[in-house]
Chain A
């Protein structure tokens, strides 16, 4: 791994660090993270293997203002973001801070507990700190360096959440400065627990920097349906890191619907640690103008008999740029691992760019691992087929384009969230003349 460029002490990043007021509960995490950033060698340049495709440096080495909490967020604004079915099971994190007063978890109070992260640091602090000390992704280490708030959720063993839990991550924009937020969410699923969690990331119109960390732990036979609807403003920078560990027979089904923006990057680090654990990860992005959306995924089969499936789809207009950089590592002894990775890109413009690195590293011989990637246009045979059935060309193309994205959106089990993702993404297509109706 090529080292990053060293951080110079008078860089905007350090200026931001100077303005940062540490909280006692988070000191150990902040310091371990900062030490790690220095250890790795600074902010990542383009030569950094992890950021060959996603050039994040210009978006993070800025005179940003770490922001914790906001005044005057109205109930009405929040209400608009709550999905049908989650009216009594949603949590609000605004400018990085959890607001119990704006949240409502009455429907799931019996099945889970929620605490502001500061109160839970005694319990989860050590693990966040340990992970930060070994973090390889500088943007995630940055979250740790500035983290001062967030949420700690525990789903009780054996509990089945009666309603999907929605986590609203809301950011504000200010003209005079660049607001930056660094929330962390820990989610612990007890043995046999079953839950659906939807993260909705949104914010005011204008620029802001959102850098969120999710630390998900799935106990034995726990099941988590996870939907991540990234609907931030086009001028915003959105960075997320999802750390996941799964024990025996645990199942994780994650879907990321990404609106894209100035810079959007999702990093999933998934460790299958118990035999029979299953992971499914899919993502869809529709990009236009100069929007970017990047997926960086590392899946580790650490024990035998685990299964992982990945499927990412991107539709690229204008000068949209997507990348999917995934690697499945089958560790020594992880026999009977079963994994596949599939990336499909649909190019709709001469200036678009699609980059992929579907990697595999295998250290066990009795495994089934496949990967595939395609980049191309709409299949002309399919267009012709539809035309031969009397469907007009433009409509045929629109139909094939939307259905390309639809298969991933359809993997979101919650109807309202799926519809939201659909409107957000397909809406972009329709605006481009790809309306089906």
Chain B
């Protein structure tokens, strides 16, 4: 049938290469593969960490040894050999970088190639960037300007030394080391990440951003981000991720902890485009197993997660909100796209504890080719959470008849004054819809982009402008060869 042939033509014609699949040739300081107490101590020593951190790491490592790899997700995960991973890889540069000029030029070029200019310049001039290359933060921009307002934006390694009181108080307070297998692992071996503190009564004047890049083959990336937003303050934070195309699996097991005090407002956006593996064979790609959780500790505080998940062989994460403060709000906006052999089991947990807490969940899952895409979300209203409200909408779009979409909501309500609503639907991009556009003179690419934007607009609307545009392009590009 003609339709079939056409489908094949298109898929061959437009097989796009992963744009970020290059590696940077740079001398790296790499720990031998494998994990034991010595590895944990070595990471601490390499980073000149204070003793309290080593204790934290060792406690986490011992906890990890007692835990089993979780198996409840709707994912086919090849067994991971935790002794075959490099837990520390850093660009060889012993002394601490004093300024952006000291960053090795190869790395600067890498980030430029990725569209993240580290030199404080042009396009993203109102965005402060912390660049994490393999395991180490290589550059943080705009630090001085931010410091004038008392805002701390630095690598977490630096914060361990310069702000121990904040780190001690909050690190592990949202995601304890006992929380789960990967939380324990990350707590034991995390190498770097970003730290943000917004002092009281401060609106962060620019977007803060971390850009993650895995460069070394066989290296795991275990970064750790901690953001604390003090009373009456607000911050918007963006994270982007890419990795070179390797045939081997790579593990990315990060933790992000957010703490919002009274009336604080944290907005955390992710555009994730890790290497997804070979679209035909499913070989290689990143295992993106991340624990992201925010605690709305203060009254009327707010934490909003927005994620655009397009990359990784497997995405397994549930950016969550624990709504402790009365009147606090949690939001989760997500677009997860899986194509080729990609798998995703992602969603959120909204735990209502405080009175009159509110949460919104908008999830859009798009599945194509032979991919599997699952939304899993828990809305829990504790018996003390008087007047809690939740609205959940999770929609799936299927492209082709070999993929699958799953919706796994858990709704547990223990308070009579709670109001919880959940809606879900499925849709598709059909050949008929595309033809309708074409019949009106609009090309296929434009048609796919338009339909996707229509499907995802509630989520795109939450992203900062330039990232929204980027996210739209990314989605259309990734899906183009799947639709015929």
Contacts and interface: CB of A to CB of B under 8 A. Distances in A.
Given A350-B383, A374-B420, A358 B409 contact: yes
B304 interface: no
B89 interface: no
Given A359-B407, A371-B407, A377-B419, A345 B396 contact: no
Given A335-B401, A360-B424, A365-B428, A375 B413 contact: yes
A72 to B, nearest CB: 45
Contacts of B422: 356, 358, 371-374
Interface in B398-438: 398-426, 428, 430
B52 interface: no
Contact of B401 (A350, A365, A373, A374): A365
Contacts of A354: 411, 413
Interface in A354-374: 354-374
Interface in B424-463: 424-426, 428, 430
Nearest to A347: B416
Contacts of B399: 365
Contact of A360 (B407, B414, B415, B418): B407
B366 to A, nearest CB: 11
Most buried by B among A347, A359, A375: A375
A355 B412 contact: yes
Interface string A26-44: 0000000000000000000
Most buried by B among A2, A49, A361: A361
A365 B424 contact: no
B409 A376 contact: no
A386 interface: no
A369 to B, nearest CB: 5
B417 A374 contact: no
Contact of A373 (B408, B417, B421, B428): B421
Nearest to A352: B416
Main secondary structure of the interface of B (DSSP, over half): strand
B411 A365 contact: no
A351 interface: yes
B109 to A, nearest CB: 42
A353 interface: yes
Contacts of A362: 396, 398, 404-406, 426
Contacts of A358: 407, 409, 411, 422, 424
Interface in B132-157: none
Contacts of B425: 369-370
B401 A375 contact: no
A206 to B, nearest CB: 30
Most buried by A among B414, B416, B422: B416
Contacts of A364: 398, 401
Interface string A367-408: 111111111110000000000000000000000000000000
A113 interface: no
A2 B72 contact: yes
A373 B396 contact: no
A359 B408 contact: yes
A100 interface: no
A92 to B, nearest CB: 40
Nearest to A366: B428
Contacts of B406: 359-362
A357 B360 CA distance: 18
Contacts of B424: 358, 360, 369-372
A333 interface: yes
A374 B157 CA distance: 46
A355 B411 CA distance: 5
A368 B408 CA distance: 17
A373 B418 CA distance: 13
Interface in A311-357: 332-333, 335, 345, 347-357
Contacts, number: 118
B350 to A, nearest CB: 13
A365 B403 CA distance: 8
Interface residues of B, number: 35
Contact of A347 (B404, B411, B413): B413
Nearest to A327: B408
Contacts of A353: 412-414
Contacts of A376: 418-421
Nearest to A345: B413
Nearest to A365: B398
Nearest to B423: A372
B421 A350 contact: no
A332 B405 CA distance: 11
A366 B432 CA distance: 12
A360 B413 CA distance: 20
A366 B409 contact: no
Contacts of A348: 416
A349 B428 contact: no
B408 A357 contact: yes
B423 A332 contact: no
A432 to B, nearest CB: 14
A348 to B, nearest CB: 7
Contact of A375 (B405, B419, B428): B419
A375 B420 contact: yes
A373 B409 contact: yes
Given A350-B416, A370-B425, A357 B383 contact: no
B426 A373 contact: no
Interface string A411-430: 00000000000000000000
Interface in B361-396: 381, 383, 396
Nearest to A339: B426
B410 to A, nearest CB: 6
A357 B398 contact: no
A2 B73 CA distance: 11
Interface in A1-45: 2
A361 B404 contact: yes
A80 B424 CA distance: 45
A436 B408 CA distance: 39
B331 to A, nearest CB: 20
B411 A356 contact: yes
Interface string A122-146: 0000000000000000000000000
A358 B405 CA distance: 14
B243 to A, nearest CB: 30
Contacts of A360: 396, 405-407, 424, 426
A305 B409 CA distance: 25
Contacts of B402: 332
Given A361-B404, A362-B405, A365-B400, A375 B411 contact: yes
Contacts of A371: 407, 409, 422-424
Contacts of B426: 360, 362, 367-370
A347 B421 CA distance: 14
Interface string B24-40: 00000000000000000
Given A348-B416, A370-B426, 15 more contacts: A345-B413, A347-B415, A352-B414, A355-B412, A356-B412, A358-B424, A362-B406, A363-B403, A371-B407, A372-B421, A373-B422, A374-B419, A374-B421, A374-B422, A376-B421
Interface of A: 2, 49, 332-333, 335, 345, 347-377
Q: State the 9 A-B residue pairs at the shortest beta-carbon distance, nearest first.
A: A365-B398, A347-B416, A360-B407, A356-B411, A375-B420, A373-B422, A375-B413, A376-B419, A363-B404
24 contacts: A2-B72, A49-B72, A332-B402, A347-B415, A349-B416, A352-B416, A353-B413, A355-B410, A356-B412, A357-B409, A357-B411, A358-B422, A360-B405, A362-B405, A365-B400, A369-B424, A369-B426, A370-B424, A370-B425, A373-B420, A373-B421, A375-B381, A376-B419, A377-B417
